[in-house]
């Protein structure tokens, strides 16, 4: 029998040089969200909290057309051009 460990592992030290630069603050920044379509309420709540706590200039939301496929390049390019930082993830 093979037992799998469900605990995720971080590879930050290995990947830190490949990560996009992080701003020191989100105040005055345009924050983008790319939602996979499964967790709109989840991302709406995060956006609400960020708005109240970090005072961004704006929040831009986009939803992928299909849950099971990658984001279209045009969607990613659009949000990249409009935003200072982008959160991409799943709401499940």
Q: What is the pLDDT of residue 11?
A: 76
Parts of the chain with a pLDDT under 70:
90-92
Q: Determine, yes or no, domain membership for 30.
A: yes
Range of the domain at 43: 26-89
- What sections of 2-85 are H helices per DSSP? 12-15, 40-54, 73-82
User: Residue 57's Cα: distance from chain center in Å?
Assistant: 17
How many C-beta atoms surround the C-beta of residue 20 within 10 A?
7
d(CA 43, CA 40): 5
Q: Determine, yes or no, domain membership for 45.
A: yes
Q: Determine, yes or no, domain membership for 57.
A: yes
Q: What is the pLDDT of residue 85?
A: 94
Q: What is the pLDDT of residue 28?
A: 97
Q: Determine, yes or no, domain membership for 76.
A: yes
């Amino acid at each position: 029998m093979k037992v799998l460990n469900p605990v995720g592992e971080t590879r930050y030290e290995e990947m830190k040089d490949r990560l996009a630069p992080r701003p020191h603050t989100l105040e005055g920044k345009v924050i983008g969200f790319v939602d996979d379509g499964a967790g709109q309420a989840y991302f709406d709540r995060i956006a609400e909290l960020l708005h109240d706590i970090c005072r961004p200039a704006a929040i831009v939301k986009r939803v992928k057309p299909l849950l099971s496929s990658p984001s279209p390049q045009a969607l990613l390019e659009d949000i990249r051009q409009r935003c200072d930082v982008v959160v991409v993830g799943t709401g499940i």
